Amino acid sequence: MIDEPSAGDAPRLTLSVSSAQRRALCIWLGTLASWRGGLVRRLVGACGSVSDLLDTSPETLASLIRPPGVAPRMKKVGATTTSRKLARERERPAAERDVEEERFAAALEARPEDLAQMQERFAHSVVVAWCDPLYPPALRQLADPPLCLFVRARCDDREIRRRLQILCNAPAVAVVGTRAPSPYGTEMAWALGRDLTSRGVLVVSGLALGIDATAQAAAIGAAKAAQHLATVAVLGCGPDVVYPHANARLRDEVARRGLLLSEFAWGVPARPWRFPARNRVMAALSRGVVVVEGASRSGARITAGFALELGREVLAVPGEAGKRLTEAPHDLLRHGAAICESADDVVAAIATTQLDAAALAGHLDTSEVARLLERGSDNGRVSGVLQALERGPMTADQVASTCEVRVYEASALLSELEVDGLATLTDGGVYRLNRR
C-alpha cells in the first residue's frame, strides 16, 4: 500500500481545468484503476471528493499514485499486507503479475490526453467519463465511483448512447446468484428475468455462469421490441474480453440487444479481485438486488452487502431449508431482506410511477393452457398431468403412476406441455411446471 497523505497535504491546482481535460483525466485514472484495485478510493481520500480529484493536475496525481523514489513492488509486499493476501499474491504466476504491472506503468507514463484518445478509438464502443451527462447518476452515490465506464455493444455509437440514456432512466434490478444453481434456482432466475423484462424492469447482471446467465438469457428472450434495452451485463473484465468462455454466445446476444459495461479498460483480464468491484457497480446501478441462490460466502452475498450500504432494496428467493445453495438468500431473509417469489414481489419493492401499469398486468400463460385443453380428446389427461405437476416436480414415472396412465402416454403428455411452454425438463429427468 502507498502511504496515504492526508487531504491537507495534497497540493491543489487553482487554475480551472477545461472539460476536455477533465474527461481525459477521468479516462486516464479509470484506466489506471483497472490495473490497481482501490486506487480511486485512495485518491478520493487524498483529494477530498471526486470533483476535487479531477481538479488536481496529472503530475500531482502521478506523484500521489507513486511517490517518487519508491519502487511500487517493494511497497506492495510491505508489512501492511496481510499474510493471506501475500500468499495469494505469491500464487499468481509472476509473468501475469508483471504484465499487469507493465500495463499499469505504461498507462501511468502516458499523457492523459493521449491515453484517452487511444481508449476511445475502438469501434462499437463508447467510453463514458464521470463528468459526462450519460454517466449513470446512480453510480455517483458510490464513495469510489468508477471514473469512467467502458461500454460495448454490437451497434453504432449513436445507438450505444441511446441505450446508455435508457440505462440512466430505467428502473434496473440486479438478479444475481450462484454459478452452479439447482434446477429450481435456474427456473426462478429464468422466470424473474423473463417477467421483470416484460414488466419494463431492466435486468442487470454479471454474465457469470448459472443464475446470472439464465436471468439475462431470459431477459433477452422476453424483450420483444427491437428498441428495448434487453439487459445490461456488468463485467469483471474489459468489455472486449470474453469471460467466461462458456457464455460467449450469450455475450454476443447481450452485445446485440443490450450493453456490455465495465469499469475495467479494454483488454483487462478477469481476476478474482475484480469481481467484488464489479458487484459494487452492479448494486449501485440497480434499484434492487435479487439473490436467487448462493452459498454463505458468495459473490451474490457481496452484491447484496453493497446494495444494503447504498440503500438499495434487497430481495431473496427462498429455497429449501438446509441446502448449501440457500444459505445466502435465507441469511438475507433472516436479516430483513424482502421475500421474492415472483417478479411481482420485486416490482412491489422497487415500485415507482414509471412502471407501466399495462406491463405490470403481466403476461400469463393461461391462454396456452386454454389452447392446449381445446385440442383433441386429451383434455382430461392433460389437466391431470398439470394438476400432478402442481404438487411438485416429478419424473415421467411418477406422473404415470399419479395419473394412472401408461408411462409412454405420460412421456408424450409431458413433452406436449414442454413444447407449449408449460413445463420444463430439468436435470435428472424431472419435469417442473413453469410458473408464470
Residues within window 267-286 making contact with another protein, judged by CB under 8 A: none
Size of the site for another protein (CB under 8 A): 38
Residue 414: closest CA among 391, 386, 435, 434: 386
Distance in angstroms (rounded) separating the CA atoms of residues 56 and 333: 44
Per-residue DSSP letter, 264: S
CB of 427 to another protein, least distance (A): 3
Of 4, 141, 429, 435, the one binding another protein by CB under 8 A: 429
Axis-axis angle for helices 407-419, 379-390 (nearest 10): 80
Q: Which is nearer to another protein, 274 or 287 (CB)?
A: 274
CA–CA gap between residue 216 and residue 247 (Å, rounded): 11
Amino acid at 7: A
First CA to last CA distance, the chain? 51
Provide, rounded to whole angstroms, the least separation between the CB of residue 408 and another protein.
Answer: 5
CB-based burial of residue 308 (10 Å sphere; 0-12 exposed, 13-18 middle, 19+ buried)? middle
Q: At closest approach, how far in Å is the CB of 112 from another protein? A: 39
By CB under 8 A, tell whether 210 contacts another protein.
yes
Per the CB < 8 A criterion, the answer to whether 359 and 198 are in contact is yes
Least distance in angstroms from the C-beta of 417 to another protein:
9
Site string for another protein, 140-159 (x = CB under 8 A): --------------------
Contact present, 327 and 295 (Cβ < 8 Å): yes
Name which of 101 and 416 has its Cβ closer to another protein. Answer: 416
Min CB(162)–another protein separation in Å? 30
Nearer to another protein, 181 or 258 (CB): 181
**What does the DSSP assignment read for 29-79?**
HHHHHHHSTTHHHHHHHHHSSHHHHHTS-HHHHHHHHS-TT--HHHHHTST
- Pattern 360-399, another protein, x by CB under 8 A: ----------------x------------------xxxx-
| Closest approach of another protein to the CB of residue 5, in Å | 43
* Closest to another protein by CB, 308 or 425: 425
Q: Which residues contact 133 (CB under 8 A, 6 or more apart)?
A: none
Quickly count: other Cβ atoms within 10 Å of residue 347's Cβ. Answer: 22
Reduce the secondary structure of 265-332 to three states and give it as a string. CCCCCCCCCHHHHHHHHHHHHCCEEEECCCCCCCHHHHHHHHHHHHCCEEEECCCCCCCHHHHHHHHH
**Stretch in the footprint of another protein (CB under 8 A) among 113-121, 144-152, 352-360, 402-410:** 402-410
241: which residues sit within 8 A by CB, 6+ positions away?
235, 267, 268, 269, 270
From 126-134, 154-162, 286-294, 414-422, give the range in contact with another protein by CB under 8 A.
414-422
CB nearer to another protein: give 168 or 412: 412
Residues 300-339: x where in contact with another protein by CB under 8 A, - otherwise, as a string:
-----------------------xxx--------------
Between 160 and 208, CB nearer to another protein:
208
Cβ proximity to another protein: between 272 and 336 the closer is 272
Q: List contacts with another protein (CB under 8 A).
A: 179-180, 182-183, 209-210, 244, 246, 323-325, 376, 395-398, 400-401, 407-416, 418-421, 425-430
